Structure 1
Amino acid sequence: IAQCLFIAGSGFSEVAKARASTSKVSCCHFSSDGKLLATGGHDKKAVLWFTDALNPKSTLEEHSMLITDVRFSPSMTRLATSSFDKTVRVWDADNPDYSLRTFTGHSASVKSLDFHSNKEDIVCSCDSDGEVRCWSINNGSCVTCVRVFSGGATQLRYQPHQGKYLAAASEKMISIMDAETLQVCRNALKGHIKNIESICWDAAGDYLASVSEDSVKVWSFTSGNDGECVNELNCSGNKFNSCVFHPNYPSLLVIGCYESLELWDIREKNTVTISNAHDGLIAALAASNASGLVASVSHDKLVKLWK
């Protein structure tokens, strides 16, 4: 029934929207309980939103250049932000008047970051020189630093729940590293013809999706199957940019494009287009397993919630 709803195009609709910024919004993420949403972008600010009515809770204003990524801790009320100003900042979402930690050490723009799935003390970040650093929040120091790529790193994400791997995208490849040691490189996922814009894990950590402007690939990490490409969707028109697995339908991938969203049923190999979802590039998507909501942010300065 769920699949039929989506194929009919009637099972996914906008439920709220707000002006998130005075300029382009480029990243978003839900807290683990689904009650807060963080957004960030070109105005150097991160905004915390109450998701029930999409009202702003607070604005975080310490970065000196645009914000590239926002991530909540899976187990605490902490939030981390990365920026072109080469810093990573960690905040308490309950008391966000000032950052708890500012990590400096990257020699280039920090492009992405994520909290370790199982170790609440660790946050990891990557920069445009291809360097990956892991930081201890308690100690306020860098605990691991590796140069992973010859090209710049685009995005990194820890495998949820299992926390076995750290996936990091750079140009046309995804490096799969051991989450504990950052040994480079357990596996290199190759096959994209154009640069990868976005990656995301499903909630169970069994599948990783990667998006370039002309294709989406899904890689399996089920037992004995680590890193096999099991599904691919080629772009038939609108360029792809961002992705997230639907929180209620694990075989459904939501893909952000320019102005539109694509709903790809991986199992049934069907797609539905949600036209005019935004008035610009859909830069990032987030999903909340707690609330069943999907968030989208765009260069049109808006944040929207979908269900």
Structure 2
Amino acid sequence: MASEDGQDNDEILLHLYMHDYFIKNNMHETAASLRREASVPDNSVQIDHPQGILKEWWSTCSDIILKEYSEGETYAQMSDHMMQTEENQNTDDMLQQQQVICDQSLGFFTKDSKFHVSGKCHTDLHHKSFFFGEGRSLNCSTEEVLCCDFSSDGKLLAIAGREEKVLFWNTEDHNKFVTGESHSLPISDVRFKPNSTMVATSSYDKTVQIWDSAEAGKSPLKLQGHGDHVLSLDFHPRRMNLLCSSDRNNEIRFWDINQDSWTHIFKGATKQVRFEPRNGKLLATSSGNVVNVFDVQTYKLYAVFKEHDKEVQSICWDPDGKHIISISEDSARLWSVSERKSLHELSSTGNIFQCCTFHPWNWKFWIIGGYRSFELWNPFESNKTLTIDAHKELVSSLATSIEPEMVASTSYDKSVKLWASP
């Protein structure tokens, strides 16, 4: 039986319950968007619940989705969760209602979407609403791809690595173009200048180069002065002329790109440097197995985090600038910057952790790149993760675009992939 606008009654019911869930959990913008796009009617839901009935059966639906798109794997968690749901709800009618809506949710998430869910759930999670699927894949290099970064508007992705040039990928029309000139050795890091078409790259050739993606054929600005491989760099979020870079000698340089010269040198970073994203008052760095946080005005240490056993491979701020996640091969750690302490730790349990970024539409979740896969982790709730198959080799870097909501990943398998909400 179909309604006048062509929607099945079950689909209308699904949209009603999703809208109810969003409203009751203060997700009003999402609810409004769903109402517009799905023409959600004003009907009241048949089964009322303080947080929305979706809260009770969301995990069950998610496991069904994963089972459908995971090469026929079976999951013990499905049976356990359905038994628990049956006990809590105490009615067979409720289970039947859940099954109908879950079946419909398969179509809602995948059938009409250009993205597909490609993950495998190896452990149960309290929330599964952070699924994202692979959208586009680009075999962009004949060498290993090591780094990537989104422009502020998310329209361009800069990609670089051992091929020594910068490739720009338009995320809207998927056209790509490459810079004319290049470094003489592999590129270790690439970062967009905020709200700009400018990109900076660091390289093993001991230089920093600044490119304009709007003028790819133009020669880059070269900053020289480092005495060893330059391994990372970052633009300040507010002071548009300020660039920071670090090299293998543990040296940090601040550059005034308008003057083409460095302004200050101090010690404390080898692997990576990242400015706090809100106002840039702090700079987080990794040096060996230590994470340092410096005051940008005084160059003095604000905090030191020393609990990693192995070398820190990657660091990332959350968008609010309150927390840092740091990655070593054997663990991930979440730090409170203001409290100067470790809040949570996640063991790699055999995976090889390499890189990290925050989830684009739920900042409580973190995406950790490892060997061939991602681990999706909410450190505030659990040490359990969702594993998503991603690449054929080690995931070398991750980048997040908040608007539009996307994640990019690069790999030693010479490819880059875009991921978004299914």
TM-score between the two structures when normalised by the length of structure 1: 0.93
- 1:96-175 matches, within 5 Å, as 96-148=216-268, 153-175=270-292
Out of 176, 187, 190, the residue aligned to residue 67 of structure 1 is: 187
1:33-71 per-position Cα deviation (integer Å, ceiling 9, x unaligned) = 000000110111111110124331333532000000000
Could you say which residue in structure 2 is the equivalent of 1:18? 138
Task: Check the 8 A contact 2:250/2:268 in 1, yes or no.
Answer: yes
- When residues 32 and 259 of structure 1 are mapped into structure 2, their CA distance, relative to the original with a 3 A threshold, is same
Counterpart of 1:218 in structure 2: which amino acid? L
Task: Check the 8 A contact 1:247/1:287 in 2, yes or no.
Answer: yes
**Cα drift, residue 207 of structure 1:** 1.1
1:98-142 per-position Cα deviation (integer Å, ceiling 9, x unaligned) = 344200000000000000121000111000000000111111111
**C-alpha distance in 1 between matches for 2:211 and 2:374:** 31
SS of 1:80's equivalent in the other structure is strand
Could you say which residue in structure 2 is the equivalent of 1:211? 327
**C-alpha distance in 1 between matches for 2:139 and 2:298:** 41
Largest Rg, 1 or 2: 2
**C-alpha distance in 2 between matches for 1:66 and 1:139:** 26
Residue 283, structure 1, aligned to residue 283, structure 2 = no
Aligned-residue identity in percent: 41
1:222-258 per-position Cα deviation (integer Å, ceiling 9, x unaligned) = xxx3432111111112111110001111011001001
Counterpart of 1:246 in structure 2: which amino acid? H
Task: Check the 8 A contact 2:268/2:286 in 1, yes or no.
Answer: no
SS of 2:215's equivalent in the other structure is coil
**C-alpha distance in 2 between matches for 1:120 and 1:206:** 22
Could you say which residue in structure 1 is the equivalent of 2:308? 192
- When residues 78 and 178 of structure 1 are mapped into structure 2, their CA distance, relative to the original with a 3 A threshold, is same
Out of 258, 273, 280, the residue aligned to residue 387 of structure 2 is: 273
Could you say which residue in structure 2 is the equivalent of 1:78? 198
Counterpart of 1:50 in structure 2: which amino acid? N
Gaps spanning 5+ residues in structure 1: where? Answer: none
Out of 158, 165, 172, the residue aligned to residue 38 of structure 1 is: 158
**C-alpha distance in 2 between matches for 1:289 and 1:35:** 11
- 1:226-245 matches, within 5 Å, as 226-245=339-358
Gaps spanning 5+ residues in structure 2: where? Answer: 1-53, 63-124
SS of 2:217's equivalent in the other structure is coil
Task: Check the 8 A contact 2:188/2:204 in 1, yes or no.
Answer: yes
TM-score between the two structures when normalised by the length of structure 2: 0.68
Aligned length: 299
1:129-183 per-position Cα deviation (integer Å, ceiling 9, x unaligned) = 000001111111111111336xxx0001000012111011011001111123322
**C-alpha distance in 1 between matches for 2:404 and 2:296:** 28
Q: Larger relative CO (CA 8 A, sep 6+): 1 or 2? A: 1
Task: Check the 8 A contact 2:190/2:199 in 1, yes or no.
Answer: yes
Out of 245, 259, 268, the residue aligned to residue 372 of structure 2 is: 259
Counterpart of 1:179 in structure 2: which amino acid? V
SS of 1:76's equivalent in the other structure is coil
**C-alpha distance in 2 between matches for 1:37 and 1:174:** 27
**C-alpha distance in 2 between matches for 1:250 and 1:162:** 18
RMSD (CA atoms): 1.8
SS of 1:94's equivalent in the other structure is helix
